[in-house]
Amino acid sequence: MQSLRVLLGKPKDLRDTRVFQHMTLAAFFAWVGLGADGLSSSAYGPEEAFRQLGEHTYLAIALAAAMAATVFILCSSYSRIIEMFPTGGGGYLVTSKLLGAGAGVVSGCALMVDYVLTISVSVAAGSSAIFAFLPPELEPFKLGFALAMIVVMIVLNLRGVKESVLALTPIFLTFLITHVVLIVGVLTVHLADVAPVSQQMGESFSRDLSTIGLGGMALIVARAYALGGGTYTGIEAISNGMGMMREPRVQTGKRTMLLMGSSLAFTAAGLLLAYLLLDLRPSPDQPMNATLAKEFAASWHVGGMDVGYAFVILTLLSEGALLFVAAQSGFVAGPAVLATMAIDSWFPRQFAVLSEQLTIRNGIYLMGGGALATLLYTRGDVHQLVVMYSINVFLAFTMSNLAMTRHWLGVRDDARRGRALATHASAVAVCATVLVTTSVQKFAEGGWLTIVLTSAVVWLAYRVRAHYKAVGEKVRKLDESLQAELAASAPPLRPAEEAAEARAVAMDPEAPTAVVLVGGYSGLGVHTLLEITRIFPTEFRQAVFISAAIVDTGAFKGVSELDALRQNVEQGLGRYVEFARARLGWAADYDLVVGTDAVFELERMCRQVYLRFPRSVFFAGSSSCVNPPGGIGCCTTRRRSPCSAACSSTGCRW
């Protein structure tokens, strides 16, 4: 246990008002943790688009302009989503609210699969970049290295989101600095080459105009644009991870979106123009960014030192390492979307539970486990993973912007309507084009697997939702029947004088005390209390009601939400206390704890209550109990089912 504590870090104290400041991210760190996914796509997106141009490389100018415009259109559309849905959930929440639950679950499941693949493709591509500099005989260890890196990232994220982001910040900054130097340096140093390059472009344009025409050139650009759609992946991560943003959330989220959009547009468009200016051609042996860095810096020498080679190595290593940073968005935004859907009963509620470190532990395990499985299945094949990855990204993009377009079509008296409609309609056209083109052309190369996998997750979500609906209906009927039974059999209200006397009676530490573990105020809780009076008619004359206010991702949004959660639980406990005093004439009190683990917190509280009242018997109601007392149990051993415990009037011994 101690070694695990060292590995994962100390538990975080929910009573500390600074915990939210510590857990949330300012715009810069959110840019690192969530924006790296988008920025890292410049390692493969622009190159894939440039490859599709073939011999028509002069069209890279139009392609660069289209890419930069698309980045800003998507960022603008998601900034508006952030304004409307500031608590996070992104594509899932906006689609659910504006298009309906069915569309929402498809969008949410697509995002979940997407974030698993985000981790897989980022780690696989990063491993490939690093192993490109190592001796060829180490190549068989590349897949094992990638799997080990995912395990390391799982541990980092279990320690906490901010801790993992801080650890990866130096890599992010190194990538940013080296690529700014690379792009600006190429465009500046080779400025004199603009004239001859422009002449060649003019000649190529005239030749193609007479052979394939404007329509043919437009189709080439459109195909390259669509198949380079991996460039835009990751833009939605910020709206999905709004729960991690520091207050004021909307402003922080929009600043983060601006930082990511500007850096991605500059990097993607700048790389395309640099390829064109240096007249580079794709190589099967090495990435184009590696060729670009070598062409730019290979001749640098200072005092006999080969600083150019060092710059090339640093640039390419930072690019490979940034891909590991990009996997972070899968561990941050993926569990957040999963938790939001779990709160809505599409997935088991355990995926909304927080750990002692206030991380979405089960979601991190699922994202990491899914990434390990996909890496093993594809053997780390980056090209197959990118195809699988892109389809779900643009499915979620299309559905989110379609939902926002529908919303603004119904708005009549808002001055922002025209601009918002233009933004979201443009985003729908762009994303739908990329989605259809990629799905059709890459179906046999892994696209079919993404479609099958996402469909399976959607089916599973509906099964889970049906289960919760059936259980909820049974619980509702049980509570109704118990309420009806209590209305007929509960003791009448005591006269006002007796009730007032019961309220004034202090709890006696030496008296036998019934300690009742309850949730919210319900027929089951009151039924448990009345069963105690029937089984032990003369034993008890006082009771303590205890409950745990469990903080999940739905409640962990600020100090005010925690206060509201505590007040809600206190109101239910107060009703139990009043029932015991007014109906039974007992002395009564309550106690509660706010935490993340119900079993751990209740066990700790039971120990504290037992120290105050040594003659305590602990009772818990359960609709599934079949023991003779008739639906109640007595907790006598730690972490033991109430149904299997034996009751004793002499008190529970820990």
Highest mean pLDDT among 10-14, 159-163, 405-409: 405-409
Q: Shortest CA distance to 435 belongs to which of 158, 192, 175, 227?
A: 227
In a domain, 184, yes or no: no
pLDDT tens digit sequence for 477-522 = 777 776 676 666 666 655 655 556 556 677 888 999 999 988 777 7
**Separation CA 108–CA 334 (nearest Å):** 10
Contact 120, 373 (CB under 8 A): no
Select from 86, 123, 141 the least CA-distant residue to 557: 86
| Burial degree of 379 (CB within 10 A; 0-12, 13-18, 19+) | exposed
Whether 460 and 528 map to the same domain: the answer is no
Residue 292, in any domain of the structure: no
Q: Are residues 406 and 528 in the same domain?
A: no
| C-beta of residue 520 within 8 angstroms of C-beta of residue 575 | no
Q: Which of 450, 465, 480 is the last residue of a domain?
A: 465
d(CA 454, CA 445): 16
Is the residue at 300 inside a domain?
Answer: no
- Considering only the C-alpha atoms of the chain, give the largest distance between any 2 of them, rounded to a whole number of Å: 103
> What's the pLDDT score for residue 645?
35
**Count of other CB atoms within 10 angstroms of residue 628:** 7
Task: List, in sequence order, every residue forming a beta bridge with 620; answer none if it has no partner.
Answer: 517, 633
In this structure, what CATH number is given to the domain that contains residue 592? 3.40.50.620
Helix (H) or strand (E) holding 103, with range, is helix 101-131
| Residue 552 and residue 505 in one domain | yes
Token couple for 573: 């406990």
**Same structural domain for residues 499 and 435?**
no
How sure is the predictor about 24, in pLDDT bands with cuts at 50, 70 and 90?
low
Q: What is the C-alpha to C-alpha distance for residues 182 and 293, in angstroms, rounded to an integer?
A: 7
Environment class of 82 (CB within 10 Å of its CB; exposed 0-12, middle 13-18, buried 19+): buried
312 located within any domain? no
CB 82 within 8 A of CB 254: yes
Query: Quick check: is 161 in a domain?
Result: yes
Residue with tokens 């009564």: 588
Spatial separation of the C-alpha atoms in residues 147 and 153, rounded to whole Å? 10
426 and 568 assigned to the same domain:
no
The two tokens of residue 645 are 């415990």
User: What does the pLDDT look like over 559-583, one tens digit per residue?
Assistant: 556 677 778 888 888 888 888 888 7
* Average pLDDT over the chain, rounded to an integer: 78
| Confidence at 459, pLDDT banded by 50, 70, 90 | very high
Tell me which residue range forms the domain holding 380: 2-168+194-285+321-465
Residue 448 — very low, low, confident or very high, per pLDDT cuts 50/70/90?
Answer: confident
Q: 496 and 621 share a domain?
A: yes
Helix axes 45-52, 249-277, angle to 10 degrees: 40
Give the per-residue pLDDT at 238. Answer: 77
Decide if 36 is inside a domain.
yes
Q: Clarify whether residues 400 and 452 are in a common domain.
A: yes
* Angle in degrees, CA 564, 565, 571, rounded to 5: 85
Looking at the structure of the chain, the number of domains it has is 2
So what's the pLDDT on residue 649? 33
| Domain match, 519 and 561 both | yes
Higher pLDDT: 118 or 455? It is 455
- In Å, how far from its chain's centre is CA 103? 19
Q: Identify the band that residue 638 occupies on the pLDDT scale cut at 50, 70 and 90.
A: very low
Is 302 contained in some domain? no
Last residue of a domain, one of 423, 447, 465: 465
167: tokens are 């650890």
Among 113, 137, 120, smallest CA distance to 376 is for 120
**Helices 45-52 and 213-227, interaxial angle, to 10°?**
150
Asked if residue 153 and residue 261 are part of one domain, the reply reads yes
Least confident of 114-123, 132-141, 155-164, 641-650: 641-650
Mean pLDDT, residues 221-242 taken together: 77
- Higher local confidence (pLDDT), 623 or 312: 312
What would the 3-class secondary structure string for 267-288 be? HHHHHHHHHHHCCCCCCCCCCH
Note whether 143 and 379 are within 8 A (CB): yes
- Asked whether residue 380 is assigned to any structural domain, the reply reads yes
